[in-house]
Structure 1
Amino acid sequence: MTTIVSMLRMKGHDVEVIGPDSFRTIPCPSYPEIPLALNPGGRFGKLAKAFRPNVLHIVTEGPVGWAAWRWARKHGVPFTTSYHTRFPEYVQARLGWGLKLAYALLRYFHNKAQGTLGATNSLREDLSARGFTRLVPWTRGVDLARFTPEPRRDWKTELGISGPVFIHVGRLAVEKNIEAFLSLDLPGTKVVVGDGPHRASLEKNFPQAIFTGRLEEGALAAAYAGGDVFVFPSLTDTFGLVVLEALSCGTPVAAYNVTGPKDILAGADGCVGAVNDDLRVACMQALNGDRAACRAHAERFTWEACADMFENTLVPF
């Protein structure tokens, strides 16, 4: 969203982002890195009145999102929403709750919008089957200048190994299903880039894996490019921006045959990875990936196209 906001401003739009940083917050239970706004309703109304928007888009279904939703409905303001995260599955993974009630709540939230933006065909098909309406396509993009095939980090020399390097990049949280990757019987070495609440547990349970912590900018791109296969074990993501970043760096992707990776990898000219219900099979197949084809496939996903799609779905009032 930071990228989209920047591109909208470059087009001449005046954009105001009202997020948790505009309110008093508390840490999200079991996920303290995420701030939750306390009682944002009254202040949201004042901020909206001062800005006087021509269009309103609600990004997430958190406390600020619900405050915007109530304000819009109270004042008869049409709005759009987007479905970024499978919150019902995340709640189930963390707390063991069922899906039915959570989906009913989200359906009530999104179906009041003039349109709900979803990143992939399979996600929109799934939401439609669950009773969501007015679903609109909205893909994602990748920074092709930042994520490049060269330079490549030489993991094999650095780690003193001869086998392939299977790499994962992302937030280390329970819902990301990283254990499924680290538990696989694979040749070579597993490298995990990133940080998060689940890191200590993963390091303890999988001491043979290499954990680098969070990497930024060029170091991150070089890490991606240095992998022989990028492994994406999540079962709950709605897209997977890291999949695009890996492809942009020329690294083939292995993933489960689920929403996000199966949509991104579809239609490639040449082998850019593999999806399979057996993640190990996908990993071994992805070793045959064509790095040039990976980069070429990533070049189909631009932030310019993403911003245009977003702009064209907005509803004036």
Structure 2
Amino acid sequence: MNILLVTDAWAPQVNGVVRTLERTRDALAELGHRVTVLSPAGRTLPCPGYPEIRLALRPRKLIREAMTGGPFDAIHIATEGPLGLAASRWCRRHGLPFTTSYHTRFPEYLRMRAPVPLGLSYAYMRWFHSRASRTFVRTPTQKSLLTERGFRNLHVWPGGVDTQVFRPRERDRLRLPRPISLYAGRVAVEKNIEAFLKLDLPGAKVVIGDGPALAALRERYPGVHFLGYRHGEELAGLMSSADVFVFPSRTDTLGLVILESMACGVPVAAFPVPGPADLVTDGGNGALDEDLREAVFRALSVDGDSCAEFAGRFSWDASTRRFLGLLKPVDEAASERRYNPAPCHSPPPDPKPASIGLPN
């Protein structure tokens, strides 16, 4: 298939959404599909409250340019930002079906930073995704919650974890007092990191990641080891050295780092909320509790082998095949009748991903 993937979130951003989309793109290419990624490029402006996130200034122009690389067999819009909105409008104007995915609880994130009513934000999200043939969500709990808010045509697209990178390793990378409690992810207010940092715990606390709250938290909690951003093999090595992974977020739809830590043989302590509740089995691969400190102590007694075994069920191959099965194919003949941006010949099949916007 020749697939167009539209996303406002892409490199150099570092977060679970970007990692999920990058890994899905790579897995699709490995299966022999051609993927064109349309992401912000050229003139951009910083997203309010997230200056490291760049938003496209001329999204409609980027969409027009991208469509000259068609026709596409399927179009997937991964985000609800300027590019996603422009792509949705283009597809509806030209009668092209498309799918979307719901990765983040944007209304809750926005409410933490601005006095915007949840009802208003959810109305926009519901309107945006109602135009799609299908909307992919990360967990059954997320599907249930969005259904209660009036979303329709929801389908679960489960997460995946690269078990070749994230696997149990030697536990000597962090030479700190044990037990070592570790958090990895974006350092921002919506991640509720202070719920972890304020806990009275024995041993050492470690935070891996970057974000707008990093400087303030470093100053406020001098006893915590803030290691900054890490990725790949280095991140997996540091994760494997921890005794418990603490996930304090109450707003994540899945929490890719939960699976990554489990794959490293590290149990997870979290609140009993959507996202963690879909992945963490109390006593099996971690612990859930409204008292996060209690969850940490219970998780410390969980066997790491059972965590790695559980994470091994979430392969990227299975996740990507599910993604393919949920895509809404474009009728190529109908597409040619509805829009013909420029005479062009379809290129031969190429398993290597193409890219528009920021480099892959």
Aligned to 1:218: 233
Is 2:261 the counterpart of 1:261? no
* 1:11 aligned onto 2:11: no
CA distance in 1 between counterparts of 2:159 and 2:125 reads 22
Residues 1:293 and 2:312 are matched in the alignment: no
Structure 2 residue 120 is matched with structure 1 residue 107: no
Give CA-to-partner distance per residue, 1:156-200, whole Å, 9 cap, x none.
xx23x2x41110011111111101100111121111111111100
SS in 2 for 1:295: helix
Choose the corresponding residue for 2:221, options 192, 197, 206: 206
Q: Note if 1:120 corresponds to 2:132.
A: no
C-alpha distance in structure 2 between counterparts of 1:127 and 1:278, whole Å: 26
> 2:51 matched to 1:32?
yes
Cα deviation 1:126-183 (Å, max 9, x = unaligned): 000000000001001111010111122353xx23x2x411100111111111011001
Higher relative contact order (CA 8 A, sep 6+): 2
TM-score (norm 2): 0.84
Give the gaps of 5 or more residues in structure 2.
1-20, 331-360
* Preserved CA contact (<8 Å) 1:193 1:212: yes
Task: Deviation per CA, 1:254-280: give whole Å up to 9, x if none.
Answer: 0011111110124x8x62101112211
| Counterpart selection for 2:296 from 283, 286, 297 | 283
Deviates more, 1:274-283 or 1:41-50: 41-50
1:302 and 2:322 matched: no
CA distance in 1, matches of 2:251, 2:162: 24
1:141·1:301 contact (CA, 8 Å) conserved in 2?
yes
Q: Percent of pairs identical after alignment?
A: 47
| 1:49 Cα deviation from its structure 2 partner | 3.3
Q: Is the 8 A contact 1:16 1:51 kept in 2?
A: no
Counterparts of 1:68 and 1:14 in 2: how far apart (Å)?
Answer: 19
Report the Cα distance in structure 1 between the residues aligned to 2:206 and 2:54, rounded to whole angstroms.
Answer: 29
Displacement over 3 Å in runs of 4+? none
The count of residues paired between Structure 1 and Structure 2 equals 310
Cα-to-partner distance string for 1:215-264 (whole Å, 9 max, x where unaligned): 23222111111111000001111100000010000000000111111101
Secondary structure of the equivalent of 2:69? helix
Give the alignment partner of residue 169 of structure 1, picking from 173, 177, 184.
184
Unaligned runs of 5+ in 1: none
Equivalent-residue separation in structure 2 for 1:217 and 1:6 (angstroms): 15
- 1:61 aligns with one of 61, 67, 80: 80
Residue number among 285, 301, 306 corresponding to 1:272 in the alignment: 285
1:119/1:239 contact within 8 Å kept: yes
Q: 1:203 to 1:192 in 2, by over 3 A?
A: same
Q: Higher helix share goes to which structure?
A: 1
- Please point out which of 134, 138, 155 is paired with 2:153: 134
Which stretch has the larger CA shift, 145-154 or 295-304?
Answer: 145-154
Task: Determine helix, strand or coil for the equivalent of 1:56.
Answer: strand
Contact between 1:271 and 1:288, CA under 8 Å: does it hold in 2? no
* Amino acid in the other structure paired with 1:263: D
AA aligned opposite 1:144:
T
1:209 alignment partner AA: V
After superposing the two structures, state which structure 1 stretch, 135-144 or 26-35, moved more: 26-35
CA drift of 1:9 comes to 1.7
